[in-house]
Amino acid sequence: MKLMNKVGPGDPKLKEQFEKLEQTRAHIPDSINSTFQVGPFAIRLASASSALHGKISKAFNHLRQTDSHSLANLTICLWDTSESKENLPPLDWKLIHQNGYQGYSKPPFYFHYFDAIQALSVLNMEQNKAHFIVQDTQKLPWWVSGSPLQVILHIWFRNHGMHLTHTAAISNGQTGLLLTGKGGSGKSTTVLACLTQGLFYVGEDYCLLAGGDPPTAYSIYQSAKWRPYTRELYPGYDAWIANPKSADSEKALIYYQEIFPSQIKCSSSIHAIISLHVGQQKKPVLKQHSLIHSLKDLMMSTLLQLPFPHPSTMTILQKFASQTEHFHLTLGQDLDANAALLKGLMK
């Protein structure tokens, strides 16, 4: 795939910051290497910390490749400064942090510091090299393990004509549906209902989208984040909750490979985009939707979740959405009926 954004000369100051990181990181030997096939690309995670590697890599386990030393399209170095005893080199934090969560970039360099988890994400598109640096793995919140490395993967894949989106996707093995909607719209419960009816999981919280013939959703994480409502409806899965201490007050983190190992698909063609809303009626109600409404749903969820906005986001999502059908689904209280309706939409 061709790059969407031209790689520019960059900012000499950012180049200097990146080179400082590279020089310091060179003193930390990588004892753990894992390669994952994400869409058409191989992503390598390199780390000297088993704790950080385990916390970050689990969400990608369904995409793990047996040959960890094969050529990678992107290498991400994981770095825990507390464990490695190698502190960050002196960086220009005023420059890096001037835009807050939106990050600072001059292609090919992207720098993003996330205060909430005290983590620095750095990407050099020219070298296809990235760093994810944390102060202390043990202090990372539970949800980082469910959808890790979002910033790095978002930018890298967008430059390759694909886009990370806050969506869910299910498949019948031949084709699939993309489910959109804001938090609380029923994506998690609906995906689980579909899995219990024999359908396949592609994504529950994030999917990687690519336009083409056909438009395709690629699995990136094998995780799910359940609200208390979903747990009440399906109490039999509580044994698989990965964050039991925080699940009751926040969300429950689940890894679907542990529950439905034979129902995970790495990708699926997408027949239609379904905008979900929770209703109070017993049976689901399906109506035709428009391309404009589907694009609005995709754009809103994407722009609110991810930094480094760029016009190519609209280009990629429009290419994807223009090749699908569009529906608005008001979910009913009958979960099996919801799943059956969605199953019937897949051609």
Average pLDDT over the chain reads 92
Return the pLDDT at 68: 60
Rounded to two decimals, what is the model's pTM?
Answer: 0.94
Pure H helices in the chain: 12-25, 50-57, 81-84, 93-96, 143-146, 150-158, 187-196, 228-233, 244-247, 256-259, 291-305, 312-321, 335-345
Q: In whole angstroms, give the CA distance from residue 112 to residue 69.
A: 28
Q: What is the pLDDT of residues 108-146, one digit of tens each?
A: 999 999 999 999 999 999 999 999 999 999 999 999 999
Token code pair at residue 196: 């219990």
Token code pair at residue 107: 């292609």
Contacts of 276 (CB under 8 A, 6+ apart): 179, 180, 181, 185, 186, 187, 190, 329, 331
Domains and CATH numbers, the chain: 12-147 (no CATH), 163-345 (3.40.50.300)
Return the pLDDT at 9: 57
pLDDT in tens, the chain (347 residues): 333 444 445 689 999 999 999 999 998 888 899 999 999 999 999 998 899 999 999 999 999 998 766 789 999 999 999 887 777 888 999 999 889 889 999 999 999 999 999 999 999 999 999 999 999 999 999 999 999 999 999 999 999 999 999 999 999 999 999 999 888 889 999 999 999 999 999 999 999 999 999 999 999 999 999 999 999 999 999 999 999 999 999 999 999 999 999 999 999 999 999 999 999 999 999 999 999 999 999 998 787 789 999 999 999 999 999 999 999 999 999 999 999 999 999 97
Q: Which long-range contacts (CB under 8 A, 24 or more apart) does 332-336 make?
A: 332/279, 332/281, 332/282, 332/283, 332/284, 332/285, 333/279, 333/280, 333/281, 333/282, 334/282, 334/283, 334/284, 335/189, 335/190, 335/193, 335/233, 336/193, 336/197
Give me the half-sphere count of Cα atoms (radius 13 Å) on the Cβ side of residue 327. Answer: 21
Q: In whole angstroms, give the CA distance from residue 168 to residue 179.
A: 5
Return the pLDDT at 2: 37
Return the pLDDT at 10: 63
Return the pLDDT at 256: 97
Return the pLDDT at 69: 65
Q: In whole angstroms, give the CA distance from residue 341 to residue 285.
A: 9
Q: In whole angstroms, give the CA distance from residue 94 to residue 269.
A: 44
Token code pair at residue 221: 């994480």
Q: In residues, how long is the chain? A: 347
